[in-house]
Amino acid sequence: MKLKGWKELEIGAIIPEAGNAEQYNTGSWRASRPQWIEENCIQCLFCWIYCPDSSVTVKDSKRGEFDYGHCKGCGVCAHECPGKKGKKAIVMVEEGN
Amino acid sequence: MGKKLAITGNQALAEAMRQINPDVCAAYPITPSTEIMQRFASFVSDGVVDTELVTVESEHSAMSACIGASAAGGRVMTATSSQGLALMWEMLHIASGMRLPIAMTLVNRALSAPINIHGDHSDGMGSRDCGWIQLYSENAQEAYDNIFQAVRIAEHEDIRLPAMVCMDGFIISHSIESMEFLPDEVIRDFIGEFKPKYPLLDVDKPVTYGPLVLPDFYIEFKRAQHEAINKAKKVTLEVAREFEKISGRSYGLFEPYRLDDAEIAIVLLNSAAGTAKDVVDDFRNKGIRVGLLKPRLFRPFPYEEIAEALGDAKVICVFDRADSFGGFGPMYMEIASAMMAAGSSPLMVNKIYGLGGRDFMPEDAEAVIKEMTGILDTGKTGTLKEYIGVRE
């Protein structure tokens, strides 16, 4: 993507388009990734509530795959996940493994 | 034709603010500018203005509230001096970086320590690099006239930058002089309605102010800011021409006083320029070719125009009512840059005067001009930077 030159920018670094942070891929900052293990998931949606970004996708009140384009791998979802019968539904895996 | 009144500089600026009737003022009192907001607060409580007055706990908060109100879409003003401006410092950069056209009256006062409440330019010069447009004023009339023009320059669609109007603490702020006021409706028409560019309160068009900008874009925004402030030279002249039509008073980027054919030029800012003009006349009457240049627009600095105006001078003395310790005074540095860039090489000396409100008397100007005639004769400058009016 060709970056805008100084004459093409909005004054004062104002962002006139709402919600365009979605276009900025921040997932590359991640050192470890959350992995969703569906068979251990009770659909409590704690992960969706606690995610400081909005990287847990939800459809029809059920969670789906992580949005790895924006997940920074903070691990809050894995920490909060109650799992099922002592088995976590979210585990953190080091990137590159 | 407006009415003439004997009035102090602070009263004149409070009256100007009443006529501007800004949407929001956030301010914190500090000598010698306190009276501006004190009088303006009376206008607010008497219902003669529509302004939302925000009384805050510090100048840092005052400028922060001004920034918020300006981003929200309001026409915003404040007033301060000295330590107050110093406490605003980080917010001054935010106002200019976000391109918010806030207008401020700065009643120039010395910076601590030692603590001192009187007039010098260390506060204004200290904020030189904060991205604000700066207009300096010799007297109450100029300060009054400048604040309306500052609003117009700041809000101009090519500029969109904050502007401060400076006048000398006590010497102007608290002294009574005769000046002319313009009628309210004339001012109303002159400043017009403020049209915000990206008002935060426009919920149908949500925008973000103050995002994180990393090395891939930061310098582009600063390049755009550099372009905008430099355009203020042209806009200042356009606005001055319009202001002359309503007031009969003519303003430029600076005021040349008997500079044509001058061999010796002195550069003096604000009230001291008025004192020195009489002394220039005395020397002219004796056949000595001396002239004076009084800068008005200090940021952006009109380098080419000033170099041209000072072009024929063989000796230039630049007075500074502020010191940049370990360097030349801030005005000297600008004038030296202007002359150097224009390929001129006059003999130039720097006199630091009037710090902490020390009076600048006609005798002071006289002694310096005499010294300059000696430099003109010998071609030798001696010490380039010296304090004057100081006890040994």
* Residue A66 parent element (H or E): strand A62-66
CA-to-CA distance for B373 and B336, rounded, in angstroms? 20
Q: Does residue B232 lie in a domain region?
A: yes
B243 and B347 share a domain? no
SS (H, E, C) B334-382: HHHHHHHHCCCCCEEEEEECCHHHCCCCHHHHHHHHHHHHHHHHHCCCC
CA-to-CA distance for B265 and B293, rounded, in angstroms? 7
Contact B98 A9 (CB under 8 A): no
CA-to-CA distance for B83 and B60, rounded, in angstroms? 10
Average pLDDT over residues B87-107: 98
B211 and B345 share a domain? no
B151 and B289 share a domain? no
B134 and B264 share a domain? no
B217 and B362 share a domain? no
A18 interfacial to chain B (CB closer than 8 Å)? yes
Mean pLDDT, chain B, integer = 97
CA-to-CA distance for B70 and B197, rounded, in angstroms? 10
Domain that holds residue B356: 255-387
**Which positions in chain A touch B95 (Cβ < 8 Å)?**
none
Share of chain B above pLDDT 90, in %: 99
Q: Does residue B262 lie in a domain region?
A: yes
B197 and B281 share a domain? no
- pLDDT at residue B338, rounded to an integer: 98
B187 and B135 share a domain? yes
Contact A13 B205 (CB under 8 A): no
Q: Are strands B133-136 and B176-180 parallel, antiparallel or unpaired?
A: unpaired
Q: Does residue B90 lie in a domain region?
A: yes
- What is the tens place of the pLDDT at every residue in B49-68? 999 999 999 999 999 999 99
Chain B residue whose CA is closest to A10? B221
Contact B160 A3 (CB under 8 A): no
Share of chain B above pLDDT 70, in %: 100
B1 pLDDT above the threshold of 70:
no
Count of CA atoms in the C-beta half-sphere (13 A) of B385 = 16
Of B247, B270, B285, the residue at which a domain comes to its end is B247
pTM for this predicted structure: 0.93
B208 and B89 share a domain? yes
- What is the tens place of the pLDDT at every residue in B276-298? 999 999 999 999 999 999 999 99
- Domains: count for chain B: 2
Q: Does residue B392 lie in a domain region?
A: no
Please check whether residue B365 is in contact with residue B279, taking contact to mean a CB–CB distance below 8 angstroms.
yes
Of B226, B247, B268, the residue at which a domain comes to its end is B247
The distance between the two most distant Cα atoms of chain A, rounded to a whole number of Å, is 59
Structure-block tokens of residue B180: 């002319």
CATH number of residue B269's parent domain: 3.40.50.920
Q: Does residue B86 lie in a domain region?
A: yes
Chain A residue whose CA is closest to B71? A14
CA-to-CA distance for A10 and A6, rounded, in angstroms? 9
B323 and B192 share a domain? no
A9 interfacial to chain B (CB closer than 8 Å)? yes
B134 and B20 share a domain? yes
Mean pLDDT, chain A, integer = 94
- pLDDT at residue B101, rounded to an integer: 98
Of B247, B269, B294, the residue at which a domain comes to its end is B247
**Which positions in chain A touch B221 (Cβ < 8 Å)?**
6, 9, 12-13
Q: How many CB pairs under 8 A join A and B?
A: 50
A18 pLDDT above the threshold of 90:
no
B191 and B280 share a domain? no
The distance between the two most distant Cα atoms of chain B, rounded to a whole number of Å, is 71
A97 pLDDT above the threshold of 70:
no
Where is pLDDT greater, at B299 or A97?
B299
- What is the tens place of the pLDDT at every residue in B309-324? 999 899 999 999 999 9
**Which positions in chain B touch A1 (Cβ < 8 Å)?**
none
Average pLDDT over residues B168-175: 98
Band (A41; pLDDT cuts 50, 70, 90): very high
Cα-Cα-Cα-Cα dihedral of B192, B140, B13, B8, to 10°? -150
Q: Does residue B205 lie in a domain region?
A: yes
- What is the tens place of the pLDDT at every residue in B199-244? 999 999 999 999 999 999 999 999 999 999 999 999 999 999 999 9
Q: Does residue B162 lie in a domain region?
A: yes
CATH number of residue B220's parent domain: 3.40.50.970
Name the amino acid, one letter, at B272.
A
- N- to C-terminal Cα distance for chain A? 30
Name the amino acid, one letter, at B229.
I
Name the interface residues of B facing A (CB cutoff 8 Å): 97-100, 160, 197-198, 205-211, 213, 216-217, 220-221, 223-224, 227-228
Contact B98 A12 (CB under 8 A): yes
A21 pLDDT above the threshold of 90:
no
B307 and B220 share a domain? no
CA-to-CA distance for B356 and A57, rounded, in angstroms? 64
**Which positions in chain A touch B226 (Cβ < 8 Å)?**
none
